[in-house]
Amino acid sequence: MDERVAEHVTEAELHAYVDGQLDTAGRIEVEAHLQRHPEAAARVMAWLRLRDELRLFLADDEARPAPPATVGLARRLERRLGWRSLGLGLRRGLAAACLVGAGWLAHALLGGLLGAPLVGPTVAASPVPAFVDEAAEADHAARLELAAGHAPYPALMPLAAPRTGGLVPVPTLRGGLRLLGSDLVPWDGGAAVLALYDADGGRVVTLFAAEAETLGWSAPRASPGPGLATVFWRAGPFAYALSGDLPEADLLAIAREAAHG
């Protein structure tokens, strides 16, 4: 053993040794040091033993299996990150542009896999606020989930409610819409919820409800983009966007009622 090298072993290196952070050369150096410094060796042994005890006790997972709600959320996150791995749900405005015709899902998946943008750059600068893009993205992701056979999660409601329900009021929608479920969705400005509704004949309507960064009021109006009809409005600190396979006039009527209701 090389005594000169071993003398340079520091307290930090001893900890790094216990935590498995050293390479082979580092471990050899520390072990040589420990051989000649029994008091240091005793301390390291005590640390190792404490570490193993903590691992044994905390790793007793059979004693407390994860409840179904936790596992369900983990499964959901796997799918969400899976979509992300495919590169879907990233391009803003994608949803509004590509949901044309029956082959939209195949198109979307193929386009995502090939890494090719499905739509050209957005037309000119529009007066449509940014949250409408976010809503379109959330709407798009939700439709992909539905198309892949994953039902929305009413079970998520009680979990999400205390965290967003109190922050973002979700209005009751009329017009024969039936709530399918809801989800927390990406939103830079704070909490956001996407509620999914079933209109007749398998048509799906989504309501994006978010905390906005600014105060603002505006009556429902239609987004000029192609694709799914979308109407949006502001109500003080909150922003809403309603999208779906319904005539724009119907969405506007539902939105107006919700905005005033």
Kindly give the pairing relationship between strand 192-198 and strand 178-184.
antiparallel
For residues 251 and 236, is the Cβ–Cβ distance under 8 A? no
Among 53, 154, 219, 249, binds other proteins (CB under 8 A): 53
Among 27, 47, 118, 211, binds other proteins (CB under 8 A): 47
Identity of the residue, 56 or 124, whose beta carbon is nearer to other proteins in the bound complex: 56
Q: How far is the CB of 83 from other proteins (least distance, A)?
A: 5
Position 42 contacts other proteins (CB under 8 A): yes
Residues 157-176 that bind other proteins (CB under 8 A): 159-160, 163
Tokens of 160: 């999400």
Stretch that binds other proteins, among 39-47, 95-103, 114-122, 253-261 (CB under 8 A): 39-47
Number of Cβ within 10 Å of residue 41's Cβ equals: 16
Amino acid at 85: S
Task: Tell me the C-alpha distance between 194 and 207, whole Å.
Answer: 6
Position 58 contacts other proteins (CB under 8 A): yes
Residues 214-253 that bind other proteins (CB under 8 A): none
Residues 180-209 that bind other proteins (CB under 8 A): 183-187, 191-192
Position 67 contacts other proteins (CB under 8 A): yes
Position 77 contacts other proteins (CB under 8 A): yes
For residues 170 and 193, is the Cβ–Cβ distance under 8 A? yes
For residues 244 and 229, is the Cβ–Cβ distance under 8 A? yes
Task: Tell me the C-alpha distance between 156 and 148, whole Å.
Answer: 19
Q: Which of 228, 196, 235 is nearest to 212 (CA)?
A: 235
Identity of the residue, 50 or 219, whose beta carbon is nearer to other proteins in the bound complex: 50
Report DSSP state, residue 241.
Answer: E
Residues 103-132 that bind other proteins (CB under 8 A): none
106 exposed, middle or buried (CB, 10 Å; 0-12, 13-18, 19+)? exposed
Q: How far is the CB of 15 from other proteins (least distance, A)?
A: 6
Q: Which of 68, 61, 132, 51 is nearest to 96 (CA)?
A: 132
Q: Site residues (CB under 8 A) for other proteins? A: 11-12, 15-16, 18-21, 37-43, 45-47, 49-51, 53-59, 61, 63-64, 66-67, 69-71, 73-86, 88, 90, 148, 159-160, 163, 183-187, 191-192
